[in-house]
Structures are given as structure tokens and as C-alpha cells.
Amino acid sequence: MSTPASAYAHAQAVYASHGVDTEAVLARLATIPLSLHCWQGDDVGGFETPDAELSGGGIQVTGNYPGKARTLAELRHDLDKVYSLLPGKHRLNLHACYADLGGKKVGRDQYDVTHFQSWIDWCKARGLGLDFNPTLFGHPLANDGATLSSRDEGIRRFWIDHSIACRKIGAEMGRQLGTATVTNVWIPDGSKDLPVDRKAPRERLEASLDAVFQEALDPRHHLDAVESKLFGIGSESYVVGSHEFYMGYAVKNRKLLCLDAGHFHPTESLADKISSVLQFVPEIILHVSRGVRWDSDHVVLLDDPTKAIMEELVRGDFLGRTHIGLDYFDASINRIAAWAIGARSALKALLLGLLEPTARLRAAEEAGDGTLRLLLLEEIKTLPFGLVWDEYLKRHDVPTGDAWLNEVKNYEKTVLSARA
């Protein structure tokens, strides 16, 4: 169902009365990519071995909905379907455990670009940029909950070498695709119960990171990022790579800081952190997710926290310094639908931020008119945003409303059901 021209014209006029040019907004939105996370399609298992499954790392995927991708070919086929349901041109966020090993057994510390060339070629054929992550979980050398902060020098060396290899792979991805790859380092290191020594693991982590980042890489091709977490399963009492640790490290070493919406206490506002962090680091990446109680990776919704994140990016003029990625995994519902619901919700939130009459709001605030500011913030909640969203989908030949679910259901019948 397409948006009648008169409906969009009405929305255009309403927003124009608030000083917002919807045509300029739609043009701007089309230039902002989301980095779609590959791991929603197979429950964060990867394909290093024929029976690879998620293990360890404080991560847990719940649900057993049929149709999980079992091979790289199946995962790529599913990704094609998801991208067809999203307006705009986007990116792919890839974990190292999705290496194309051709059936061979290769240590993660021995990975090189040949193990990811098929992904580069796949993205190039579709005009997608690539982002990358070393995988420091789901491996025997991560089973005790320590990788880059391990007491064992051999274990630390293995993960340092893996991370160094991933930086080089990321740089080659960026070079070949003509758009810088963000390689993001997240580790599961922590303690289930109260530690006595919180200092030594962080000293070892800092030394390991220094070794990982020792070689300077061309920023035209590659950008480094580090990511914190509040806690994980098995690291409830202590996380080595806390927000404070990584913020300090990023400021000191001019690295990108990754802010994951599910990696903070439920009462914290990620949106409030953005302007503070960007005061001191060059750029950030966002992992847009949804925390529910203890679990950090529910499918993104058009909820208040997500809207607040996107509003802040627009209000602070931070979009040019922010890389927006998604990070959730739900195996309790159709995985293609979960991917699309979350990505479309993130895009809706971004569109809402761009449609906000920020100039009027700022003028009221600068004039000290808190009454007008509050009034406007309430009034814009009922502006005809949905008509602008439908117009955007129509222009990108993407189904509106819930019509796209019919495509997913048909895909389930013809493709996913055969995997049961």
C-alpha cells in the first residue's frame, strides 16, 4: 500500500509550518547507513566448524524458532532478504567467527583476508560497506572468562594475535570497498563473584590493547573501536573492560568508543552519554539494542530510549561522527522478521529525529522560554510522521505497513522450512 500523494503533501505542509523541509530530511536519511549485524541470522554461532554454536562469553540466545542459517550461503541468502525490506543503502557488521574457511581448520590467530574475501566480494557486488569484530568468545581459550586480561601469557598472546590479524583484515576490507571499516574490540573478561584484585586484570588488558593497536593503520580504510559492558552471564560482579576503563583508554589513545544501548544500567540514558563522550573522542559507534531487565539484546523497537538516541545525534550534529550499528539476537521469532523489525524501528527513530523542528526548540531554549519548549516537545509527538515514513519506503520500493511480513512468511514457507 503506497502513500497517496495528497497524504504526503499534507504531512509536508504540516512539517513546513514548523520549519522542517521533509524533502531535505528524506534526502539526508538516505545517506545514513545502518550496519546490520550478521549474527541475528544464526544465533551468534558462526561457521568455523560444521556444528558451531554460541558458547561462553556471557552471551545467551533464547528460543528455537525453526529456520536458523546453517551455512554461509544460507546466511547470505537471508541477509539479501532483509536488505530488500529496508529503505536506503546500508552496511554489514561481521564477526570473525563467520570466516569462510572452506572446510579447513584454521586457528583464529592465523586468520587473514583470504578467509573473508568472499564476504568482501559479496558486499562489493551489493554496494555494502563492511564493519568487523574480532571474536573473543565461543572458543576453548575463552572458557575461563579471560582473554586479553588473562593471567596466562600464552592465552593473552593468542588473543592479541587474533585481534592484530582482525585489524589487518578490517583494513583490507576498507581498502577494497572504498569505505573505512570500523573494527570493534569487545571481550567477555570478568568474574562471576567478587574479585579481590580489580587492578591487575585491567593493567594486563591495557598492555594487551597497546600491543593490538601498535601498528598504525590508514584511517581512510580502517578505524579502531573499543566496547564496554556492565555485566554478562558469568561476569555479574566484575567486568574488566568497564565503561570507565574504555572511555579512559579511548580518550588517551584517540580510539572510537562503542556505546551499546544494552550495556548500561536500565536507569542510565545512553543518549545522555553521547555529547559527553564526543567532547573527548573523535568518533563513536553505536550498537542500537534493547535491554530488558538483565538481558541486553532484544529486538530494537521505536521506544523512548531509541528515539532519544537518534534525537541526540541530530540535535548535537553528531551524525557525521557516529557509526550506527545494530546488535540484537532473537531466536524466539522468525529471525528475518526480527532483523527487519529492529532495523526498520531504528530507521523510524532516526527519521523522527531528523523531522524534529530543532531550530524552533533551540530558539525557545536559548530565549529561556521553557514553557514553549515543553509545548513544542509535546506537540510534535502527534505530527504525521507515519505519512513521511511511508513516502520514504515508497521511494525506495520497499513495502509499507505490515505488508512486508507477507514476504517474510512466504520466504519461511519456501526457504526456511526446508532447514528444519
Under DSSP, the state recorded for 71 is: S
Nearest to 254 by CA among 212, 213, 220, 286: 213
pLDDT band at 233 (very low <50, low <70, confident <90, very high): confident
Query: Is residue 297 annotated as a catalytic residue, yes or no?
Result: yes
Q: Which of 260, 311, 312, 390 is catalytic?
A: 260
Is residue 200 within 8 Å of 233, Cβ to Cβ? no
Q: Which of 222, 229, 298, 307 is catalytic?
A: 229
Q: Which of 206, 327, 330, 390 is catalytic?
A: 327
Over residues 183-204, the pLDDT tens digits come to 999 999 999 999 999 999 999 9
Over residues 114-172, the pLDDT tens digits come to 999 999 999 999 999 999 999 999 999 999 999 999 999 999 999 999 999 999 999 99
pLDDT on residue 118: 98
| Of residues 127 and 56, more confidently modeled | 127
Query: Does residue 336 carry a pLDDT above 50?
Result: yes
CATH class of segment(s) 33-357: alpha beta
Query: Is residue 348 annotated as a catalytic residue, yes or no?
Result: no
pLDDT on residue 53: 62
pLDDT band at 231 (very low <50, low <70, confident <90, very high): confident
Nearest to 179 by CA among 217, 122, 216, 219: 219
Q: Which of 39, 119, 159, 186 is catalytic?
A: 186
| Of residues 294 and 271, more confidently modeled | 271
Query: Does residue 1 carry a pLDDT above 50?
Result: no
Mean pLDDT of 336-364: 97
- Report phi then psi at 291, rounded to 5: -85, 140
Query: Is residue 193 annotated as a catalytic residue, yes or no?
Result: no
Q: How far apart are CA 37 and CA 308, in angstroms?
A: 22
- For residue 37, the cross-strand partners are 93
pLDDT on residue 148: 98
Q: Which of 273, 287, 298, 307 is catalytic?
A: 287
Q: Which of 43, 227, 311, 312 is catalytic?
A: 227
Amino acid of residue 394: K
% residues pLDDT > 70 (the chain): 97
Domain map (residue ranges) of the chain: 33-357
Interstrand relation of 295-298 and 290-292 (parallel, antiparallel or unpaired): antiparallel
Q: How far apart are CA 307 and CA 287, in angstroms?
A: 14
Nearest to 55 by CA among 44, 71, 68: 44
Residue 34, by phi and psi: left (phi above 0), alpha (psi -120 to 50) or beta? beta
Q: How far apart are CA 291 and CA 326, in angstroms?
A: 13
- Kindly report the pTM of this predicted structure: 0.95
pLDDT on residue 49: 76
Q: Which of 43, 48, 297, 356 is catalytic?
A: 297
pLDDT on residue 2: 47
Mean pLDDT of 25-30: 98
Query: Is residue 229 annotated as a catalytic residue, yes or no?
Result: yes
Cβ contacts of 308 within 8 Å, gap of 6 or more: 269, 270, 271
Over residues 73-115, the pLDDT tens digits come to 999 999 999 999 999 999 999 999 999 999 999 999 999 999 9
Q: How far apart are CA 34 and CA 366, in angstroms?
A: 33
Cβ contacts of 126 within 8 Å, gap of 6 or more: 80, 83
Average pLDDT, the chain: 95
Annotate 88-155 with DSSP letters as a single string. Answer: S--EEEEEGGG---TT----GGG--GGGTHHHHHHHHHHT-EEEEE---SSSGGGTTS-STT-S-HHH
Query: Is residue 227 annotated as a catalytic residue, yes or no?
Result: yes
